[in-house]
Homo-oligomer: A and B are copies of this chain.
Amino acid sequence: MRALVVTPGRPETLRLIDIPKPKAGAGEALLRIMRVGVCATDRDIIFRGHGRTPEGYDYIILGHEAVGKVVEVDGGVDIGVGDIVVPTVRRPCPEMCPSCRAGEEDYCITGHYKEHGVWGLHGFASDYAVTDAKFIVKVPEELKEIAVLLEPTAVVVKAIEQVMVIQRRYKWSGKDMLVLGTGPIGLLSALILRLQGFNVSVLGRRPPESRKAKLVNMIDAEYIRKLTIERKYDVVIEATGSTEVVYRSLKLGKPNSVIVILGVYQPTKIEIDLGSLMTDLMQYNRVIVGSVCAGKRHFERAKEYLMEARRRYPGFLEGMITKIVKPEEFRRAIEREPDDIKNVIDFTK
């Protein structure tokens, strides 16, 4: 079968190879992969040496945003052959820490978890893939085409869930949300906040007539291209991955606000007034929270949001998918043009 693999730590090793079809073991499911989405983490693995190969391999199969069809499945789960499914990404640590034991491996304490396509487990960018059947989410036929968005949506659901829990600190009545960035995480954050009824502004760099700006307008969110220091927000979601923007984001919150850090940032030394930044956090009960990954419950909730989004904003999710390429054309999906949002590799082609 075809598999898109990379040797982490060595640039330009991304390649499509032919390897034997994997076999499902006890408790596992064998999936016929349909589509795999490409994200910033994949590009970090490809170009910046992030990622870890599975034990015994000198490469890792890429891909952690996948949708596929069940070919074989070991009993004991509510999944059957022929079901369309999305696997979650992270698997519990071998120690089974309290979080992993509680089914919250996205809050693993030991850091010894594994992640499909990222950290010690092969990903899903191949014709067939095997994963633990307990970590699979069934998706309805109607979501098939956009189900590659389920994983990033789940990541956003978890981030916003954290905000809502944090704001139980007091009788919160926040309304004004700012999303920084118009990549998949930025747009999906804006979508979910809109579905929750908030006012949403989205910062982007593309012109107002661009695809990204139009998608923002489609969900009745405001598209802005400049930040003004006078305008403050109840929640700021940082999804640009830019160190310069993240620094500015820390100053855009109202009293008692929450700044959510969702990007991966390049190591960058900058001179900042840390004293004033910390006094400011203290003086206004502000919170900065980082959010990573998502658990199965976030995938389940994300599925509901995607179904609601298709009813309320038809065309929005489809509009986020900018390229669908054959595995042989993988480079076109990895390279990112300014208007690209979610590029997808289609393993049925």
Contacts and interface: CB of A to CB of B under 8 A. Distances in A.
Interface of A: 98-99, 102, 104, 106-109, 111, 161-162, 165-166, 168-171, 173, 238, 243, 246-247, 254-256, 261-276, 278-292
A246 B278 contact: yes
Contacts of A98: 171, 173
A5 to B, nearest CB: 24
Given A109-B254, A261-B281, 20 more contacts: A98-B171, A99-B171, A104-B170, A107-B170, A109-B255, A162-B285, A165-B165, A165-B166, A238-B278, A264-B279, A267-B273, A269-B272, A270-B272, A272-B272, A282-B290, A282-B292, A284-B290, A284-B292, A285-B291, A288-B289
B171 A169 contact: no
Contacts of A266: 275
Given A263-B278, A285-B107, A292-B283, A171 B273 contact: no
The A interface, classified by DSSP as helix, strand, loop or mixed, is: mixed
Number of copies: 2
Given A111-B255, A274-B265, A288 B281 contact: yes
- Of A98, A266, A281, A284, most buried by chain B (CB within 10 Å of CB) is A281
| Most chain B Cβ neighbours within 10 Å, of A98, A106, A265 | A265
Contacts of A162: 169, 285
A161 B276 CA distance: 24
A112 B111 CA distance: 44
Nearest to A244: B274
A282 B111 CA distance: 13
A102 B292 contact: no
Contact of A274 (B107, B247, B262, B286): B247
B275 A268 contact: yes
Contacts of A287: 166, 287-290
A173 B109 CA distance: 10
Given A170-B107, A256-B99, A261-B282, A271 B270 contact: yes
Contact of A288 (B265, B271, B272, B288): B288
B107 A256 contact: yes
Nearest to A104: B170
A268 B279 contact: no
Contacts of A285: 106-107, 162, 289-292
A112 to B, nearest CB: 11
Contact of A261 (B246, B273, B276, B278): B278
Contacts of A279: 263-265
Contacts of A106: 285
A69 to B, nearest CB: 32
A165 B169 contact: yes
B169 A169 contact: no
A135 B169 CA distance: 21
A267 B283 CA distance: 14
Given A265-B274, A267-B273, A288-B288, A104 B171 contact: yes
